[in-house]
Structure 1
Amino acid sequence: MKPLQDPGALFASLPAGATIVLHSGFAEPRGLARALAQHAGAMRRPRVVAMMPMGHAPYADPEPASHLELYTFFPGKGLRAALDAGRARALRHPLSAIPPLFDAGEWRADVLLLQVSPPDATGHVSLGVSVDYMRAVLAQRPLVVAEVNPRMPRTTGDTLLAASAIDWCMDATEPPQDLAPAAADAVDEQIARNVAGLVRDGAVLQAGIGALPDRVLGSLGHLRHLGLHSGVITSAVRPLIESGAIDNSSKRLKPGVCVTAMAGGTQAFYDFLHRNAAIEFHPCSLTHDARVLAAMDGLCAINSVLQVDLQGSANAETAGGRRISLPGGLPDFATGARRARGGVSILALRSTAGRAAASSIVARLDGPATVVADQVDFVVTEHGVAALHGGTAAARAAALVAVAHPAHRDALARAAHA
């Protein structure tokens, strides 16, 4: 690793149209992201690939983005506005499909910007709180530039990288991006209780980020022998692990160990992850693999969506004509849970959305079908649980009307009949 004194000179030296990949999620290197934005105008229109930055993504602001071709597999908080405004381009793939794009050379990285832990005695750094598709990018042997951060946890699993594989390094000046616990209201609490009633002892959990997933996890403390295999984990899993509710004793793949591709939380949570052998981080080529998930007995996939139509297909990507998100890991886990023995795919959503309190149960989706009806067992709102699997078209529609907001049920029933 050579100290990087002048990031601007490095960025300016890149060939025209070079592809720059940023470490994703809560591991995005904040100093390098700022430098990329600052020097965007001096570059020769590079392609920048980012996934799920959860803080400010300065390179996506209007002025720097005008000099870049910005792409994202999943916008997260940091790229949502840029994606909706057209400053970022959507790469609409489930997470399981991302590593093969790099393996096959359909996407080739020239530069990889990472945030890593300091080297250990063996000369290895850790990828910390995000592994996801970084292994597939590293296999292409791009120029690797890393921020070294003493507050990045040295996580276990497939996270180690020889320091000699890093070409340039700089010291991080701030901690990894944090995630404060999300605020929930009475509606979230009721939905969480309804979801929790579907989870059984020994289930292997997958859940996402946000107030609702956090409340669902917080409602499962009475269960025993739970497992955890997820695309992302947050601070909400810690009480379940420390209480023993999650012990991973029922898992066939990596029994006794929680598995994830990335994590987000407070610095206290990152300290909890440091050298914690009970929580392993692996690439999404493993965590989201169809065969791995289908072989996971009792996989319970719990995901939030924006809309569900009267047959059970769901839109998790657009709302009111605005692009909010991309598929992420939802199709992978919904399909895996449906195929797993004893598995269950649960979709959760509020019955209304927006200032006009429009129904989230709709006759037709306003956006793409992120998952189709055959990938769904239950749809849950604050008004109850709709059991969909195995029912006729009429039965599915009736079950969904019953969990819609009362103000919209008559209109939905008429639409279902029509």
Structure 2
Amino acid sequence: MKRLAGPEAIIELIQPRSRLVLHSGCGEPLPFTATLADHIDALDGVSLTTMMPMGQARYALANRRAQLDVRTFFPGKALRSALNRNGATLVRERLSRLPDLFESGAAGVDMLLLQVSEPDSSGRMSLGLSVDYMPAVLARRPLVVALINSAYPRTQGDCFVTSDQIDYHVDGSAPVQTVEPTASGDPIDHRIADHVAGLIEDGDVLQIGIGSLPDLVLARLGHRRDLGLHSGIVTDAVMPLIDSGVITNAGKTSFRGLSVATMAAGSAEFYAALHDDRRFSFQSCALTHDPVRLAGIERLTAINGALEVDLTGAVNAEHVDGRIISAPGGLPDFAAGATVAPDGRSIVAVRSTSKDGSTSRILARLDFDSPVTLPPGRIDYLVTEHGVARLRGLDGRRLSAAITDVAHPDFRGALRRRSEKP
């Protein structure tokens, strides 16, 4: 493990046409990404693979794809603009498949840019806020350059890196990417959150995402007991429930007593609380999103949002109004697992209309060019601000009628007429 003088030294290590992988999410090493953006003219045909960057992603703003071709498995807010102006490429895969892509060589890597915590008493450094597919990338033995950041939280779990896995390192105390808790939401968000929270029972094992709706749902669960957590991501909103003893993970047969996730995103205060917190276990997404493992989690309750749902129960959670918003991520994995887990449930929430109320988000059929994030049969409960539709076991006209019942009243008549056509 050789020490570099500073982040700018990585430019000398990047070879023409090399394949870089960047630490994902809030694990993104900001001094390295700033260097890539500032020295983009020094790059030649380099590809950069990332997932859910939560900052500005300046390296994608210049639209200099001959120098740096950005590819992402999940855009996050940072890359939406670049994707929609063809300044980046979306690699559309569910999260459980990503480790296999690297292990098989289908996704290539020559150099990995990591951020890790300072070593613990055993000399191990933690991947911290983002484990996801990093272990699979490390297993390919690329050139590894790590920012060893004294300000970066050391999380617990199967997330440790040793010095012999790192070729070069930069030491320092650098800012860590934060994501402040979202705004309190509008009245529609609150009504949807009320409906979703009403479906949660004591002992359920929750999967929940990031954003205002998940935060609102979690804020309504303070009266519950012995909830579990097995999720792709955790945020500030889970901490009050863990600290108050609502989330205990006591009913799990695997990882009993531990909240399991592969990523974290939140405030500096949340990161300080996560540091060395042994109530959490951060794992590779090969484990957290494994469909077989998910199918075996009793009472797994997957709570996810959607952009559009049609009368067959198909879900689009990726594109709306001609814009790329998201990608499959972990939604297909958790929805599939929850629908077959013992006493599991897949809950999908969607606003019934566009923000201005002019367009229904409940459709007779998804448009031909809309991605199908979930095929029919992956929703047990569909929730809008107008109520809850229990879809499990329904098909044909009974299914379409149940979905229509939670559409906006202004659009129900047209939906019923469409569903009644032979």
1:210 is aligned to 2:219: no
The equivalent residue for 1:413 is: 416
The equivalent residue for 2:123 is: 123
The equivalent residue for 2:83 is: 83
Correspondence 1:62-73 to 2 at 5 A: 62-73=62-73
d(CA) in 2 for partners of 1:354, 1:64:
34
d(CA) in 1 for partners of 2:406, 2:165:
54
d(CA) in 2 for partners of 1:139, 1:211:
36
CA contact (8 A) 2:131 2:263 kept: yes
Correspondence 1:314-393 to 2 at 5 A: 314-355=315-356, 357-366=358-367, 367-393=370-396
Q: Which amino acid aligns with 1:59?
A: Y
Structure 1 residue aligned with 2:397, among 394, 398, 401? 394
d(CA) in 1 for partners of 2:186, 2:49:
35
Secondary structure of 2:203's counterpart equals coil
Secondary structure of 1:412's counterpart equals helix
d(CA) in 1 for partners of 2:178, 2:5:
27
Q: CA RMSD in A?
A: 1.4
d(CA) in 2 for partners of 1:4, 1:243:
44
The equivalent residue for 2:240 is: 239
The farther-off stretch of 229-238 and 400-409 is 400-409
CA contact (8 A) 2:235 2:266 kept: yes
String of CA shifts for 1:303-324, please: whole Å, max 9, x gaps: 0010000111100010011111
Please report how far the alpha carbon of residue 122 of structure 1 lies from its aligned counterpart in structure 2 after TM superposition. Answer: 2.1
d(CA) in 1 for partners of 2:387, 2:351:
11
d(CA) in 1 for partners of 2:280, 2:133:
18
CA contact (8 A) 2:150 2:173 kept: no
d(CA) in 1 for partners of 2:101, 2:4:
30
Please report how far the alpha carbon of residue 66 of structure 1 lies from its aligned counterpart in structure 2 after TM superposition. Answer: 4.9
The equivalent residue for 2:197 is: 196
Long gaps (5+) in structure 2: none
Correspondence 1:19-418 to 2 at 5 A: 19-172=19-172, 174-183=174-183, 184-355=185-356, 357-366=358-367, 367-418=370-421
Q: Which amino acid aligns with 1:380?
A: V
CA contact (8 A) 1:37 1:64 kept: no
Percent same amino acid at aligned positions? 49
The farther-off stretch of 114-123 and 258-267 is 114-123
The farther-off stretch of 59-68 and 8-17 is 8-17
Secondary structure of 1:157's counterpart equals coil
Please report how far the alpha carbon of residue 16 of structure 1 lies from its aligned counterpart in structure 2 after TM superposition. Answer: 2.8
Secondary structure of 2:301's counterpart equals strand
Please report how far the alpha carbon of residue 268 of structure 1 lies from its aligned counterpart in structure 2 after TM superposition. Answer: 0.9
String of CA shifts for 1:278-328, please: whole Å, max 9, x gaps: 101000000000111000000000000100001111000100111111100
Q: Which amino acid aligns with 1:384?
A: G
d(CA) in 2 for partners of 1:203, 1:312:
24
CA contact (8 A) 1:119 1:163 kept: no
d(CA) in 1 for partners of 2:133, 2:202:
32
Q: Which amino acid aligns with 1:256?
A: G
Correspondence 1:8-23 to 2 at 5 A: 8=8, 10-23=10-23
Matched length: 418
String of CA shifts for 1:62-89, please: whole Å, max 9, x gaps: 3444522211110111111111111111
String of CA shifts for 1:145-172, please: whole Å, max 9, x gaps: 1122222111100111112322222245
Secondary structure of 2:84's counterpart equals helix
Secondary structure of 2:206's counterpart equals strand
d(CA) in 2 for partners of 1:228, 1:289:
15
Please report how far the alpha carbon of residue 5 of structure 1 lies from its aligned counterpart in structure 2 after TM superposition. Answer: 2.6
Please report how far the alpha carbon of residue 13 of structure 1 lies from its aligned counterpart in structure 2 after TM superposition. Answer: 4.5
CA contact (8 A) 2:312 2:365 kept: no
Give the TM-score taking structure 1 as reference length: 0.97
String of CA shifts for 1:255-277, please: whole Å, max 9, x gaps: 11110000011111111111111
Long gaps (5+) in structure 1: none
Give the TM-score taking structure 2 as reference length: 0.96
Q: Which runs of 4+ in 1 moved over 6 A?
A: none
Please report how far the alpha carbon of residue 48 of structure 1 lies from its aligned counterpart in structure 2 after TM superposition. Answer: 0.5
d(CA) in 1 for partners of 2:7, 2:141:
20
d(CA) in 2 for partners of 1:118, 1:357:
52
CA contact (8 A) 1:66 1:87 kept: no
Secondary structure of 1:155's counterpart equals coil
